[in-house]
Amino acid sequence: MRQFFWFLTLPVALSLTGCGGSAPIEISEVREIDPANDFEIPVIAESDTSRFRYKTSPSTDTRPVGPQGDNSDGSPKLTWNTPDGWKELPATSMREPNLRFGPNDEGECYVTRLSGAAGGLTANVNRWRKQVGAAELTDAEVAALPKQTLFGEPATLVSVDGSFAGMGSAAKENYRLHGLILTVADSMVTVKMTGPKDLVAENEAKFGAFCASLDFRTGN
């Protein structure tokens, strides 16, 4: 399967000074995890330009691919079609694309790509369920969840209602979390939609179309 996960490069050098002088220590990998908030924090690792030189940029059928339409270096660009009525917000390091919908933009949908197993499928399903106050599932129950195709692979579909509290925010009543989690080798991609239950229900078909449109494109 095509690789679709990014690595961030963090060259770090520390010098320890003591009686005998200084000795350089090079840190090649830093993993940041904040379990008190949301586990969706990227792994920072040494870059591998031969495998992970992908650039992400929003695209629809009517707009250029990549920054100023330029991906002449041949690196794949993440592309998608934004559903009618949804709007794009500026991307962040954890949300590319970053979309909103609803009368007051109370619905949100975004893609997160992670290097590393990120705790595994069951842990991430239960992390999402915890965000809406739902009970944890066993490995067998997680394996039995419905699947939906994402990047040509079967992704696990999580759809659960409750009082949503994500990223340390105040709980929002009568919300729905509806999303996909795809694990491939030592990488993970998630597509997560949250919002008032009725609003999310009205947009589930658009969510499916959005997920189906996600792809990588090379060339101009």
Mean pLDDT of successive 10-residue stretches along the chain, which has 220 residues: 38 37 42 40 30 33 33 71 96 93 97 83 96 97 97 96 84 96 88 98 98 82
Residue 5 lies in a domain: no
Confidence (pLDDT) at 159: 98
Query: Would you give the end-to-end CA distance of the chain in angstroms?
Result: 22
Number of H helices, E strands in the chain: 4, 14
pLDDT the model gives residue 116:
73
Residue 211 located in a structural domain:
yes
**Structural domain total, the chain:** 1
The CA distances from residue 42 to 29, 72, 92, 200, in Å, are 12, 27, 12, 27
Asked if residue 6 belongs to a domain, the reply is no
- What is residue 104's predicted lDDT score, i.e. its pLDDT? 95
Q: What is the value of pTM for the model shown?
A: 0.68
Task: Tell me, yes or no, whether 88 lies in a domain.
Answer: yes
Residue 149: strand pairing partners = 154
How much is the pLDDT for 93?
Answer: 86
Q: Residue 7 falls within a domain, yes or no?
A: no
1 belongs to a structural domain: no
* Residue pair 156/147 in contact by the 8 Å Cβ criterion: yes
pLDDT score, position 186: 77
- The answer to the question of residue 68 being in a domain is yes
The residue segments making up the domain with residue 180 are 12-217
Amino acid (one-letter) located at 201? A
Per DSSP, which regions of 91-185 are E strands? 98-101, 107-115, 147-150, 153-164, 172-184
Residue 80 lies in a domain: yes
- Proportion of the chain in helix, strand, coil states, percent, rounded to 5: 15, 40, 45
